Structure 1
Amino acid sequence: MLASLAIRDVVLIERLDLPFGPGLSVLTGETGAGKSILLDSLGLALGMRAEQGLVRAGQKQASVTAVFQPPERHPIFDLLAEQGLEIEDELVLRRVVQADGKSRAFVNDQPVGVALLRRLAATLVEVQGQNDQVGLSDPAGHPALLDAFGGLGGLRAAVAAAFRQWRGAESSLAAAREAVAAAMRDEDFLRHAVEELTSLSPKEGEEERLSQERQHLQQGERRAEAIAASLAELQPRDRRSGSPGSALRAAARALERVPSLGDTAQPILAALGVAQDALAEAEQMLERVMADAAPDPRRLESLEDRLFGLRAAARKHGVAVAELAAHLALLRGRLAALDADTGRVAALERDCAAARSAYRSAGEALSTARRAAATRLEKALAQELPPLKLDRARVVVEVTARDEAGWNAEGMDRVALLVSTNPGQAPGALERVASGGELSRLMLALKVILAAGSPVPTLVFDEVDAGIGGATAAAVGERLARVAEGLQVLVVTHSPQVAARGAHHWRVAKGFAAGRAETRVEKLRGDERQEEIARMLAGETVTEAARAAAASLLAGRP
């Protein structure tokens, strides 16, 4: 319920704090006192349109804060959780309007968009006024009204669940069909790519292994070149230049031809002999190393062809060489999925047909129940309308089948509450046929019938008694009190019969302070309340008879 309303600098209100309680609260006062300002202020907190003229003259901004105490398991808790907003025992809706008309919205002091504020407020308050009817005049809410009256919550939930199942099956089917279509579009490419990569047969870790072997072979080439160069020095191809071995032998022969050297030549000849032996051994060792280290040029060429082929394939498919094997497996999987997906599509088509059939069965059950409930609701309204001075009105609850394109989570029907306010008049849409006061009384009649199942805990009626009096006003008051037994009801009224039914009574009056008009609100008790109702009965001059009549009205209040 609405626990309190705090208003700051709105039109004629400088500062106002109103606590509200359960049951029926009535607001009375002379015309022009500012009752509409209170409703406009509440409307701001509920997300209604903000206007520049709402800010009190000379002030930079206006603000309205509405504090609610939602009942346990109210839908608003799920909505708050869905939006990531903190959930508390109290829900505070606040709206701030700047002098230029710009506004900001807050929920529990967290900034939110006005659309969300309006969405939250719609679960907490319904407003029926002379100019704005929130609820009854909106055809989108008529199916829920009828279902609440008929106690069709279980059927309605079954239809919503079946609809979600059906739409989920359709979504899965569409995705599978798209996957098959995409795969078929790529089938030629897939087959060519799989054939190409299969022929290449990439192995995991192959690039690294080939790179290492290539590097080793390349290093072997360089070693062979160094050994060959060394041998070339010892064994020059140019015979004229001679080799180191021939030079050593020539030196030895030259010494041997000089006998006079005698013993002096022997050590030299011995050294030259050792040098010749060492040189011969070095040549033999170089030749053996050369034979062992000589690279296989065909192996290096084959290895490089393989490595470059892998890298070219990787570039072509936009993956790393190390991922080629996995990519081949992926492409093979996509090819294999073509046949599997075709079978899956067939299975999903059967699932979708079954889900549609289940939805249709649930929808038809709800439609049948709705038509029966519509007849009962028409009869119940026919009994409620005459006491509310709507005896010439006739409400038709129309349940018509939608085309399949229009089926939704609420069922297969279009539900509309139509009204004819005069005999011979064809029933039409509520907002086009009924006046504001008539709509408010129609809503009151509906709430009397539906109050027990209403998910909205607070109802606001603005002059629901407009244009009526006497027994009709008493009937309105009696019905408001009945609705208020289960819901919180706020009523702006000019009817003493309605005011006398209130559990709480507020008087709105216009006063003056520092040369400026201002709206004041005070809660009435006892004699003050009797005097206000007497004023409503008598007008400007309150008589003793009016006071006695007011006392009688109050005494008759349950």
Structure 2
Amino acid sequence: MLEELEVRNLGPIRSALLSPNKAMTAITGETGAGKSMLLSAIRLISGATASVARVSAGADSAWAQGIFDVDENGEATRLAQDAGALDIDGEKSDPDPDEIGRQELFLSRMVPASGRSRAVLCGHSVPRNVLGNVAAQLVTIHGQADQMRLAAPARQREFLDMAADDTAERDAYRQAWQQLQIIDQRLSNVTNQEASTRARTDYLRESIEQINKVDPKPGEDEELKEKRSRVENAAEIAQGVGSALSALDASQVDSDSDAQGASDAITHAIQALRTIHVGGSFGQAADRLESLNADLSDIVFSLSNEVDTDGDAEGLDAINSRIHELDELTRRWGPTLEDVIAWRDKAVFEVEDLDASPEKIDELKAQHQQAFDDALKAALVLSKKRKDAAAALANTVTKELSALAMAGAGLEIRVVQRKSASKDKTVSKNGEADADSSTWPLDGNGIDDIEFLFTPFPGSPQLPMGKSASGGELSRLMLALELSVAEKRTAGSSDMTFIFDEVDAGVGGKAAVELGKRLAKLSQTSQVIVVTHLAQVASWADSQFVVSKGTAKAQSASSKASVETTVNEVTGDARIHEIARMLSGSESATSLDHAKELLDSSKL
């Protein structure tokens, strides 16, 4: 939801601050007053292309900023976090209960009089497309240029999928489609082998054979190098261990020796201390010596196991030979034996994929057929969900168009399953088909071609959207579409802001009242901002801002006065006067009474 829009030096607007209502806001004013600049400001913070021509005369730059209140766990917040522009890990002190789970996003854009524009998200400079991606989750603009985007088949498919609430079916299809692409790539690799591919296969096989012949074990080279070091230093080890054992416990070296070792000396010391029966620290000293003697015994035991275990000098050549073999492997496929083993295991699978034997090709073809069957089945389920939703959506939109002074207008949404002209295919009652990729062309979005066909008036031929209606008719069609999917678009969230421009073109009387009522209805689930010339539409708004054009004072005697646009909220009597002006162009007693009556009656 847009909390605040601030604009500086954009066209005739030198400075403006707009705080839209949470529900419906009307922006009114004389033709040419500059209402379009407010829409330009919103487009700028939505990532639109910037034009230096929009910078106010004499200003160094134009600037616009929108502050949005959003769901802390919503998609817009996630995108801002992914861009590194937002960190919400810290907790607010004494948070307002209404603010729990909410987050403010600041989207701003600076356009210099010369040079490149700058996009800023929550105080961080970001690429323009990042600002656009975040804004796309927050703002939907329905002006003539924006409505033309729905003429694209991809946008129509996205809109229908949202109305169909077919996320589960699309996810199931995309998973099956991705698996089909993997199998297709493997089959293509096998069936299109060339000389370089065969050479690669030969290299892999020879490498696998060489590694298998050596049969390395993880960490084996390090163990062998340690063992070699012990063999090479066996004499030094034996001398050191023997001397240590002689000092600690001579009996471990010579069973007939009567020499007293360290262990015996400590034992005598313990016995001496135990004979002292006077209180004090003697017993504690004896306990400590016993603990020391136990550790000493463990050391003696360990060293005694080292005697005569590392003197196998005859095996040194075999160890060196093995280390050399392992070093050759790590030099070519290393740097470690673990890397060598992992490379071999991966190479085995690659050889299998590159093996163009008839058996392998047949196996992959069978896998392809199964993957295609799965993808087609998922595509047909998705197609049925789209067809059901298309009929319901078109019926609802047609009813809304009648209420919006477009009786006889209608929308048809066609969901056509693509088929090759080479052969007809039939679908069985259970939804399954004769799955053949040559006759059932799938793509990443399924099997359907989707087209929105609009009939703007009775007798008009059905024509694709964007080619069959005026700007006002398109605006009302978009309003009807938004009303039809309002609950689904805003399910679990009220973050979306809808902005309508030219929606009242060619409308008047009761139809204008109904148009305002429909916008107010949409504002019950989303924030709505409408730029309008009709009092019957503006009267339904919860707040109203007037855009006025005046003459700014000259800065000096030599300078000329300039046109300046101001934006002000009107409430109370001021709003009654503005509604009266919109009704009759005057503020007579009759028009003021009419304005009061209109405002009083414009309630849901």
Please report how far the alpha carbon of residue 315 of structure 1 lies from its aligned counterpart in structure 2 after TM superposition: 8.4
For residue 168 of structure 2, what is the aligned residue in structure 1?
Answer: 157
Cα offset, 1:378, TM superposition = 2.4
Q: 1:87 to 1:125 in 2, by over 3 A?
A: farther
How much has 1:46 moved relative to structure 2? 0.9
- Tell me how far apart the structure 2 counterparts of residues 557 and 324 of structure 1 sit (CA, whole Å): 80
Match of 2:455 in 1: 420
Q: Is the CA contact (8 Å cut-off) linking 1:160 and 1:410 kept in structure 2?
A: no
> What is the distance in 2 between the residues matched to 1:545 and 1:506?
23
Among 534, 537, 541, the residue aligned to 2:583: 537
Shift of 1:408: 4.6
Give 3-state SS (helix, strand or coil) of 2:67's partner.
Answer: strand
Q: In structure 1, which of residues 105, 109, 115 is the aligned counterpart of residue 119 of structure 2?
A: 105
Partners of 2:333 and 2:339 within 8 A in 1: no
Displacement of 1:104 in angstroms is: 1.0
Q: Which residue of 1 aligns with 2:528?
A: 489
- Relative to structure 1, the CA distance from residue 413 to residue 549 in structure 2 (aligned partners, 3 Å threshold; closer, same or farther) is same
Name 1:378's counterpart in structure 2.
394
Q: Residues 472 and 50 from structure 1, CA distance in 2 versus in 1: closer, same or farther, beyond 3 angstroms?
A: same
Distance in structure 2 (CA, Å) of the matches to 1:450 and 1:198: 63
Give the CA deviation at 1:505.
0.8
Looking at structure 2, the residues matched to 325 and 113 of structure 1 have their Cα atoms a distance apart, in angstroms, of 42
Question: For 1:432-511, what aligned pairs fall within 5 Å after superposition?
Answer: 432-455=467-490, 457-511=496-550
Residue by residue over 1:399-431, the C-alpha shift from the partner in whole angstroms, topping out at 9 and shown as x without a partner, is 112366964554321222111224443322211
**Counterpart residue identity of residue 369, structure 1:** K
**Secondary structure at the counterpart of residue 587 of structure 2:** coil
Distance 2:532 2:38 in 1: 13
| CA–CA distance in structure 1, aligned partners of residues 210 and 597 of structure 2 | 101
Name 2:574's counterpart in structure 1.
Answer: 528
Post-superposition shift, 1:366?
2.3
After TM superposition, the structure 1 = structure 2 runs for residues 85-164 of structure 1, keeping only pairs within 5 Å, are: 85-87=85-87, 89-100=103-114, 102-133=116-147, 136-149=150-163, 152-153=164-165, 155-164=166-175
Partner of 2:270: none
1:40 aligns with 2:79: no
CA distance, structure 2, for counterparts of residue 351 and residue 77 of structure 1:
41
Q: Alpha-carbon deviations, 1:453-472, whole Å to 9, x = none?
A: 11471100112111221111
Equivalent position amino acid for 1:467 in 2: G
Structure 1 contact 177–345 (Cα < 8 Å) conserved: no
Identify the range of structure 1 (398-407 vs 325-334) with the bigger mean alpha-carbon deviation.
325-334
**Residues 388 and 187 (structure 1), Cα distance of their counterparts in 2 relative to 1, 3 Å cut:** closer
Contact 2:120 2:126 in 1 (8 A): yes
CA distance in 2, matches of 1:68, 1:495: 28
Alignment check: 8 A CA contact 1:51 1:101 kept: no
TM-score between the two structures when normalised by the length of structure 2? 0.67
Shift of residue 518, structure 1, vs aligned partner: 1.0
Range with bigger deviation, 182-191 or 24-33: 182-191
Separation of aligned partners in 2, 1:325 and 1:512? 79
Structure 1 position 51 matched with structure 2 position 51? yes
For 1:374 and 1:95, the matched residues in 2 are separated by 38
Choose 466-475 or 400-409, whichever is displaced more: 400-409
- The whole-number CA distance in structure 1 between the counterparts of 2:71 and 2:340 is 58
Does 1:174 find its partner at 2:185? Answer: yes
C-alpha displacement of 1:362: 2.6
SS of the counterpart of 1:47? Answer: coil
Partner of 2:466: 431
Query: TM-score of the superposition, structure 1-length normalised?
Result: 0.72
Is the 8 Å Cα contact of residues 382 and 446 (structure 2) preserved in structure 1? yes
Judging changes above 3 Å, is the alpha-carbon distance between structure 1 residues 406 and 196 closer, same or farther for their aligned structure 2 residues? closer
Is the Cα–Cα contact under 8 Å of residues 580 and 591 in structure 2 kept in the other structure?
yes
SS in 1 for 2:480: helix
Q: 1:188 to 1:208 in 2, by over 3 A?
A: farther
Is 1:160–1:411's contact at 8 Å kept on the other side of the alignment? Answer: no
Q: Measure how far apart 1:107 and its partner are.
A: 1.0
SS in 2 for 1:119: helix
Moved more, 334-343 or 162-171: 334-343
Q: Distance in 2 between matches of 1:325 and 1:126?
A: 54
Preserved CA contact (<8 Å) 2:189 2:354: no
Q: Residues 201 and 325 of structure 1 are in contact (CA less than 8 Å); yes or no, is this contact kept in structure 2?
A: no
Change (3 A) 1:121 1:329: closer
- Distance in 2 (CA, whole Å) between partners of 1:54 and 1:396 is 40
Matches within 5 A, 1:119-268: 119-133=133-147, 136-149=150-163, 152-153=164-165, 155-168=166-179, 170-171=181-182, 174=185, 185-189=199-203
- Structure 1 distance, partners of 2:566, 2:486, is 32
Alpha-carbon deviation of 1:60? 1.1
> Residue 133 of structure 1 aligns to a residue in which SS?
helix
Cα distance in structure 2, aligned partners of 1:135 and 1:492: 20
Report the CA distance between 1:336 and its aligned residue.
Answer: 8.9
Give the unaligned 5+ runs of structure 2: 89-102, 232-316, 420-436, 554-560
CA contact (8 A) 2:333 2:340 kept: no
Residue 322 (structure 1) shift: 10
1:547 aligns with 2:574: no
Give, in angstroms, the shift of residue 4 of structure 1. Answer: 0.5
Distance 1:197 1:551 in 2: 92
2:261 paired residue number: none
Rounded Cα–Cα distance in structure 1 between residues aligned with 2:418 and 2:348? 43
- In the TM superposition, residue 160 of structure 1 has moved relative to its aligned partner by 2.2
- Who is 1:29 aligned against? 29
Structure number having the greater helix percentage = 1
Residues 147 and 478 of structure 2 are in contact (CA less than 8 Å); yes or no, is this contact kept in structure 1?
A: no
Give the C-alpha shift of residue 522 in structure 1.
1.0
Cα deviation for residue 74 of structure 1 reads: 2.9
CA distance in 2, matches of 1:130, 1:331: 61
Cα distance in structure 2, aligned partners of 1:335 and 1:145: 46
CA RMSD of aligned residues (A): 4.2
Residue 6 of structure 1 deviates from its aligned partner by 0.9
For the pair shown, the structure with the greater C-alpha radius of gyration is 1
Letter in 2 for 1:525: T
Instruction: Specify the code of the residue in structure 2 equivalent to 1:411.
Output: G
Structure 1 window deviating more from structure 2 (185-194 vs 364-373): it is: 185-194
Q: How many residues are treated as equivalent by the alignment?
A: 469
**Does the 8 Å CA contact 2:10/2:62 hold for their aligned counterparts?**
yes
Residue of structure 1 equivalent to 2:411: 395
- In the TM superposition, what whole-angstrom CA distance separates every residue of 1:140-199 from its partner, at most 9, and x where no partner exists? 2222332343xx32x432322331343146337736985997885345445666778899
Q: Which amino acid aligns with 1:76?
A: A
C-alpha contact 2:186 2:353 (8 A) present in aligned 1: no
The residue number in structure 2 matching 1:296 is: none
1:473-496 deviation per Cα after TM superposition (whole angstroms, max 9, x unaligned) = 111111111111111000011101
Measure how far apart 1:331 and its partner are: 6.0
Q: Flag the 1:371–1:207 CA change in 2: closer, same or farther, 3 A.
A: closer
- How far did 1:381 drift? 2.2
Query: Residue 390 and residue 199 in structure 1: after superposition, are their counterparts in 2 closer, same or farther (change >3 A)?
Result: closer
**Residue matched to 1:245:** none
**More deviation, 370-379/525-534:** 370-379
* Residue 314 (structure 1) shift: 8.0
Maintained 8 Å contact 1:156/1:411 = no
1:511–1:518: 8 Å Cα contact kept in structure 2? yes
Pairwise CA distance, 1:105:
0.6
Aligned position for 1:240: none
CA distance in 2, matches of 1:417, 1:86: 39
